[in-house]
Structure 1
Amino acid sequence: MSHLHIRPKEAGADKRIINITPESANWQFVGFEVVMLEADDTLVVNTQNTELCAVIISGVADVTTQEQLFSNIGHRASAFDGIAPYAVYAPPKQELTINALTSLEVALCRAPAKGLYPVKLITPQDCVTMTRGSGTNLRHIRNIMMDNVDAERLLITEVITPSGHWSSYPPHKHDTDAIPQESALEETYYHKLNPKQGFAFQRVYTDDRSIDETISVEHNSVVTVPKGYHPVGTPHGYELYYLNVMAGPKREWIFHNDPDHAWIVNP
């Protein structure tokens, strides 16, 4: 199995089905966890030396920090509901208590930080939604924490790829610290399928093909992208959701299209 492909595990006492650290991914910046809670479950999360964004993928919760209480947040039964999520941003050295009011799926997105920004509730109205591309390259974007919300390193967005469509396409990369031409960002893709028995494909490859893998992704699995291009294709009959988490030396998303395929958007 590809070392870039992380399959979900059964939720144990820690309630996590995905737990990716910089050490386990063999990189520097992105940490990513997915937590599944039942109604009335409580989870306490310490941000330690990271900034953390808790994205409520589905369900409703109360989230308490050392400074604030955010009551009854979250309004999606599914990531495919067609609406943007709620999220809570917290700086280092904070403790978050998540109380599930319903069955709850939460993504915990982390990156090293100094503590420059305060706790913040990110509402669906704070998210920036758009449709990008055309034809079978059309996809729906929900920017949760891109340039619409301040953070030190984290960049977070959701994408819905319709049945039979492509996204992160034409293939692009962001693995070279050469601003303003390109930025260096690690990235995770957390995939969900509708219906959930479906599958999709993600290729990760570099110019020199030192990485060249095509991965069959299934419901609740993650693809880690340490470098290289990383397009995604969704088969007929299924729609694909993914949550992207990026972080790197500088908080700028500047990508470079594969020159072999750039003609698709620059005819």
Structure 2
Amino acid sequence: MTATTSSLHLPAGSTAAGPYTLHVTPESAGWGHSGLRVLALGAGETHELETGPDEVVLVPLEGSFDVECDGESLSLAGRASVFAGPTDVVYLPRDATARLTGAGGGRLALCTARARARLPVRHRPAADVPVELRGAGSCSRQVHNFATADTFPADSLIACEVITPGGNWSSYPPHKHDETSEHETELEEIYYYEVSTGPDGQPGLAYQRVYGTPERPVDVLAEVRDGDVVLIPHGWHGPSIAAPGHDLYYLNVMAGPGPERAWRIVDDPAHTWIRGTWATEQVDPRLPLHSPATDPQDQAPGQNGATRP
């Protein structure tokens, strides 16, 4: 049976549960490892979180928060919006109780993954988050690698944010990571989207493509809007297309069954040639978007996306 748009595209509000405006668990997704929740808290409001079998990375989407867990009291300075640059994050271990408080109020993403090991609570400041400009030309995008495998210790969770300027294609060329080999790691993936409004204040939109192989079919072409989610159990995914005039944000949450925490991907062979065009193109001058953390002139060789999707 082919998984289709109707089963993998979750419109904003369709998974709301209790205090969460978004609530995706491994059980609700029909897989085994990755999850995502979004919690709205007013100033001074609190929420008690039981992490259970999951490790959790707390990511402010907007606003600031205080966190108490395992005897640690931490503050998340947060940000005004997802388009205001990278944010600080907090890691919570499995089998923990955390008290979350809206310091200034706002919305908090809880990126989750089933974990075997129990690691300590810790805070990563925004200034320590690597900001990468990936791709070139109309494939330019900005990546905040706050919890990727090569930059942040965790048991199984991999997470990052991507900002795509209006009119650009992101998550391109299409790629997959659904097998265990020297070239791939098997990872379930969640895409959570926010889309900027246009100059007239009208809501924005974007598009997401996911397609499979004959052996493992999947077929998604979704028009995504603010607060939507697309689940990617397997298959090629990309492009993520930002409509002209509307910058696109997406939060990626990944985890899988393998003992190795790594992000290895393979391109769809029909489209990988596009990487070769980036060597002669400039990074979109609109990037870095609302963030002074990275200057295109300061990139290391190959940082413009020679080996990353």
The normalised TM-score by structure 1 is: 0.94
- Aligned-residue identity in percent: 37
In 2, Cα distance between equivalents of 1:113 and 1:33: 17
- Which of the residues 226, 231, 236 maps onto 2:244? 236
**Pair 1:163–1:93, CA change in 2 (3 A):** same
In the other structure, the counterpart of 1:198 is 204
In the other structure, the counterpart of 2:227 is 220
**Pair 1:46–1:52, CA change in 2 (3 A):** same
How far has the Cα of 1:74 moved from its partner? 2.3
Q: Does the CA contact (< 8 Å) of 2:129 and 2:144 recur in 1?
A: yes
In the other structure, the counterpart of 2:82 is 79
The number of residue pairs the alignment matches comes to 264
Q: Does the CA contact (< 8 Å) of 1:31 and 1:110 recur in 2?
A: yes
How far has the Cα of 1:67 moved from its partner? 2.0
In the other structure, the counterpart of 2:64 is 60
How far has the Cα of 1:131 moved from its partner? 0.4
In 1, Cα distance between equivalents of 2:14 and 2:267: 37
Q: Counterparts of 1:24-103 in structure 2 under 5 Å?
A: 24-71=28-75, 73-81=76-84, 83-103=85-105
More helix by share: 2
How far has the Cα of 1:206 moved from its partner? 1.0
**Pair 1:123–1:100, CA change in 2 (3 A):** same
SS of the residue corresponding to residue 207 of structure 1 reads: coil
In 2, Cα distance between equivalents of 1:75 and 1:45: 19
**Pair 1:124–1:80, CA change in 2 (3 A):** same
**Structure 2, unaligned runs of 5 or more:** 278-309
AA aligned opposite 1:29: H
How far has the Cα of 1:11 moved from its partner? 9.8
How far has the Cα of 1:118 moved from its partner? 0.8
In the other structure, the counterpart of 1:253 is 263
**Pair 1:153–1:124, CA change in 2 (3 A):** same
Q: Does the CA contact (< 8 Å) of 2:55 and 2:92 recur in 1?
A: yes
How far has the Cα of 1:12 moved from its partner? 7.4
Q: Does the CA contact (< 8 Å) of 1:58 and 1:74 recur in 2?
A: no
In 2, Cα distance between equivalents of 1:6 and 1:59: 24
In 2, Cα distance between equivalents of 1:204 and 1:74: 35
Residues 175-222 of structure 1: CA deviation (Å, up to 9, x unaligned): 1111x2111100001100001711100001012272122011010111
In 2, Cα distance between equivalents of 1:115 and 1:70: 22
How far has the Cα of 1:39 moved from its partner? 1.3
How far has the Cα of 1:114 moved from its partner? 2.4
C-alpha RMSD of the superposition? 1.7
SS of the residue corresponding to residue 184 of structure 1 reads: coil
How far has the Cα of 1:41 moved from its partner? 1.1
Residues 48-95 of structure 1: CA deviation (Å, up to 9, x unaligned): 111111111110111111220013x223111001x2111111111111
AA aligned opposite 2:273: W
Q: Does the CA contact (< 8 Å) of 2:41 and 2:102 recur in 1?
A: yes
More strand by share: 1
AA aligned opposite 1:190: Y
Q: Does the CA contact (< 8 Å) of 1:89 and 1:119 recur in 2?
A: yes
In 2, Cα distance between equivalents of 1:49 and 1:11: 21
In the other structure, the counterpart of 2:143 is 141
**Pair 1:12–1:137, CA change in 2 (3 A):** closer
1:18 aligned to 2:22? yes
AA aligned opposite 1:131: L
**Pair 1:92–1:18, CA change in 2 (3 A):** same
In 2, Cα distance between equivalents of 1:52 and 1:69: 16
How far has the Cα of 1:256 moved from its partner? 0.4
SS of the residue corresponding to residue 128 of structure 2 reads: coil
In 1, Cα distance between equivalents of 2:218 and 2:116: 33
How far has the Cα of 1:116 moved from its partner? 3.9
In 1, Cα distance between equivalents of 2:174 and 2:49: 36
